[in-house]
Amino acid sequence: MRRMPPEDVCYEAIVRRDPTFEGLFFTCVKTTGIFCRPTCKAKPALRKNLEFAPTAQAALSAGYRACKMCKPLDANAPRPEWMDELLAEVRQKPNARIADSELTKRGLDPATVRRRFKAELGMTFQAYQRSVRLGGAVRQLRKGAGEMQTALASGYESMSGFREAFARVFGDAPGRTMKNGVRPLVADWLTSPLGTMLAVASDTGLCLLEFMDRRALENELIRMRKRFGAPIVAGASTVLDQTKREMGEYFEGERKDFGVPLDLRGSEFQLKVWNALREIPYGRTESYGQMARRIGKPSAVRAIGRANGTNQVAVIVPCHRVIGADGTLTGYGGGLWRKEWLLEREGVRKEGELFVG
C-alpha cells in the first residue's frame, strides 16, 4: 500500500487546507462516514473523529463515501483543471493579460484563483503573469532587442510602465541592468508523489529544488537572491525541463542517477559536503561520522549535519541518504516521513525502526 504522511502531519495539513498535500492522503470522518481531500472547505472534524487513508480506494474499502463538497473521486491530479489550463495559457501566451473580469467571464472566482495560486505557487495569479511577462522581456533584451521593441512585444502599453515594472524587480532601469550583466533566475513548479516542489535554475544549472510546504523556503529564496545577486522570475528553461523529466523518471523508478547540471553556491566546506552527498549511491546510506571521515574531517560531524541542513537541492543532492550511526532517521527539511519514503523507494533495507544501508 502507498505510504502517506504521519497522521499528525495530515491533521495539520487539513487544518491549513494545504494544497501541497493533495493526492497524498484522504481524510476519513468517523462520525459522518465520508472522506475528503486535504483542502475540503468543510470545517475539520475533531481529531479524535478522524482517520486517514493513503488512497481513495482505501477509504472506499473502509466503508466511507465520497464528500459531495470536495468530490475526492472527481480529480486525481493535485491541481484543479482550471489551474493547469491557466498555467498553460500564460506559458503559451506570456504577453497576454488575463484580468479578473476575464476570469469571471470564464466562470472562475478571482478570489479563489488568487488564493489557490498563492497557496500552491507562493504568488497570486496576477503576480505570476507579471513574472512570466517580465522574464520574457529579459530574454529579449539579452538577445539584443531594444527597450521600445521589447516593451511593446511584452505587452506593456508604455515605456514608463515597462521601466517601472522592470525596476521594481531588478532595482534599476533595463539598459543599465543589462549592461551590468544581471541575469534572473528562473523558477517553475513540478508535481511529485510527495507534494508540489519548486525548482529554480540559473543559466548554467539547477540551484534549488525544494518542497513547497517547507517552512524555511521563503528565507531560502531570499538568501538565494542575495547569493546570486539576481531576482527570481517564473518561466521555463532547458535546465528546468531536464529537471522535471529526470525527477519524473526517478519517482517512476526508472532513474537512479541524475544528469541535470547544478549551480551550487556556498562556502568551500558546504560545497565539499554537497559533492560528497552526491557520491552516496542510490539505495545506500551513510552516517554523519562516515561522511566526515570520507571527506577527511573526522571531527566535523556536527558541521556535516549543518551543511546537510543547508542543502537546497532535495533528492538530486541526496541528503536523505544520511542517517544516524545507529540506523535511525535524523532531521530532514522536507519532513522525516518524506525521508523514510525516499529511502524505502530506493530499496534501503529496514529492520524494525532502523535503516540498514
| H-assigned helices in the chain | 7-16, 56-61, 81-92, 100-105, 110-121, 125-142, 147-153, 159-170, 174-179, 217-228, 238-251, 268-277, 288-294, 301-309, 336-345
76-98 as b/e: b if 16+ CB within 10 A: eebbbeebeebbeebeeebeeeb
User: Which listed residue (10, 36, 67, 207) is catalytic?
Assistant: 36
Q: Clarify whether 319 is annotated catalytic.
A: yes
Euclidean distance between CA atoms 161 and 150, whole angstroms: 12
- Catalytic residue status for 36: yes
- Among the listed residues 28, 67, 70, 319, the single catalytic one is 319
Q: Are 77 and 115 in contact (CB under 8 A)?
A: no
* List of long-range contacts for 108-117, beta carbons under 8 Å, 24+ apart: 108/82, 113/82, 113/83, 113/86, 116/19, 116/80, 116/83, 117/83
Active-site positions? 36, 319
